[in-house]
Amino acid sequence: MAGRLITKITKGIPSLNRALDKPPEGKGIGSIYPFEQAELATGAPPSGLADVGRGGKGRFFTKPEITKAGRGANPGKIDNLLEIMPTAKEMATVAQAGNVKRGWYRTSAEAIVSTFEEDSPRFAALLAALSPQTSVESNLLNTINVFKNWAQGQRLADPSLVGMMDNSGAALLLTNRKTQNRRAVRISPEEALKRWEDLGGTKESYDTGREQIRIMGDSVEGEKGEDSVLGAWVGNSIRALNQPEGQFDKLAISGPKVDSFYRNLLGNTIEVTNDTWMARYMGVPQDIFAGTGFNRAKMDPGKGPGYLAANALTRNAAEILSRRIGEPVSGPEIQEMVWSWAKRVVEVARNQGVTPVELIRRNGLPDAMIQETPDFGNLLRDPEGPYRKGIEDIGRDPGEFVPAPPITTNVTEEIMGSGDAPRRDLKRAAGRLYKITRALEGDKLALAAFIPMVGAQVYMMSKDSPESKDSPES
């Protein structure tokens, strides 16, 4: 029943895959996307991965991922995680409920490409670099202002800075800080420069990096200047600003979430962005998505067992939903729909003073409320927002704003009334979101009690590998 309902609602909406196959003339996504997509692995998975997860999710890894997934103890870690994560069938049902936001990445990618044209890979990389620990709206405003002020400052850049960010502590030095007793402490510019030169950098590259940090401090929200620039932003922002033109196919960003987000923002239909809200939906600590060994030379952003497990789960859900509705659904589409539904069910329930389960039981999450989830495409073009002026200041045209037509559907309600299995799926998801959100926003001990023991074990195991040198968090 639920499958038929969602088929009716999605009929006529082009899939992301088909939209990318035939990009618009001139400024299409396909004309600007700087790198090839990884393909899903074929053939028998490596030993230990064939039976991973309920239903054998070993076949849902890309070719680069499957090598890492099959290494050492990773199969066991991934399997344990998949045992505590939602089923792929539940995830597909939640995606159905969030169907109104299908196309979030497509809309955003098309707006970025049409607005920034040849600069779109750099802008998307900077947008991803500035995404940790901030809202969609703040992320976009910060990025526009940083890009504008950098561009108006003659695009000051030094390609050597990209490689310098691979050195442990180099990004911190550009903020005139060093790590001491596991804390960032201020040091003099003279000491920072000396340490920078000890790492192989030059005074010229240090000065360029410092000027870029100053631009960021003058551009981002907050009144603390450079102190408003989060440490999680620095390394990847420097990479984005200094990557040579025409070489964005060689840019790898530290941190799997940030790197995947960058690629999704330019139309990649295979990488999956696993962030805070996806961790909440899955009922796992966000830390399991952290980077575990960034390797720029191998274009490896540092996907660990937790990230790989989430990728496999999401792609499995995409396969299930594709069968349900009779058209291709990509992993990023699953993520954008799940993300939008999960975020709004928590926010709306909180605003109304009810639990998420109570909200969906009383049909209180119509599609119009989910539609309110912001996306970069609409924000860029919004004539009333603070974004358009910054874009126009650098001579770019974000295009005409077209308001979304009124939406009267309520897919969540339809799914809740369609049968026991889909109703249980949404209730489980809503209940899990409530528990983990309450724990995260309140009693930390409650979080520990909520996460099953196996989850805690996997969480600890995920920290076995060395962390990325400047691991951003979402």
Q: pLDDT of 351-364, one tens digit each?
A: 999 999 999 999 99
| Closest CA relative to residue 398, chosen from 416, 412, 413, 377 | 377
Burial of 238 from C-beta contacts in 10 A (0-12 / 13-18 / 19+): buried
Report H helices in 53-152: 63-69, 74-84, 88-97, 104-116, 120-129, 136-152
Burial of 452 from C-beta contacts in 10 A (0-12 / 13-18 / 19+): middle
Rounded Cα–Cα distance for residues 76 and 162 (Å): 35
Q: What is the mean pLDDT of residues 358-372?
A: 96
What is the average pLDDT value for the chain, to the nearest integer?
Answer: 86
What pLDDT score does 450 carry?
54
- The verdict on residue 447 lying in a domain is yes
Token code pair at residue 274: 């696993």
**pLDDT above 50 for 239:** yes
- The verdict on residue 422 lying in a domain is yes
Residue corresponding to tokens 């995947």: 260
Phi, psi of 187 (to 5 degrees): -135, 170
Burial of 224 from C-beta contacts in 10 A (0-12 / 13-18 / 19+): exposed
Q: What is the mean pLDDT of residues 78-94?
A: 95
Rounded Cα–Cα distance for residues 258 and 461 (Å): 22
- The verdict on residue 303 lying in a domain is yes
pLDDT band at 349 (very low <50, low <70, confident <90, very high): very high
- The verdict on residue 60 lying in a domain is yes
What pLDDT score does 89 carry?
97
Give the least confident one: 184-198, 315-329, 359-373, 376-390.
376-390
- The verdict on residue 138 lying in a domain is no
Asked if 325 and 10 count as a contact pair (C-beta separation under 8 A), the reply is: yes
**pLDDT above 90 for 371:** yes
- The verdict on residue 241 lying in a domain is no
- The verdict on residue 156 lying in a domain is no
Rounded Cα–Cα distance for residues 261 and 109 (Å): 11
Quote the domain boundaries for residue 410: 2-118+251-461
Rounded Cα–Cα distance for residues 407 and 430 (Å): 23
Q: What is the mean pLDDT of residues 382-401?
A: 90
pLDDT band at 466 (very low <50, low <70, confident <90, very high): very low
- The verdict on residue 469 lying in a domain is no
- Select the more confidently predicted residue: 18 or 283: 283
Domain count across the chain: 1
What's the whole-model pTM score?
Answer: 0.88
pLDDT band at 443 (very low <50, low <70, confident <90, very high): low
Rounded Cα–Cα distance for residues 16 and 12 (Å): 12
Asked if 417 and 361 count as a contact pair (C-beta separation under 8 A), the reply is: no
Give the least confident one: 15-24, 349-358, 370-379, 433-442.
15-24
Rounded Cα–Cα distance for residues 196 and 187 (Å): 12
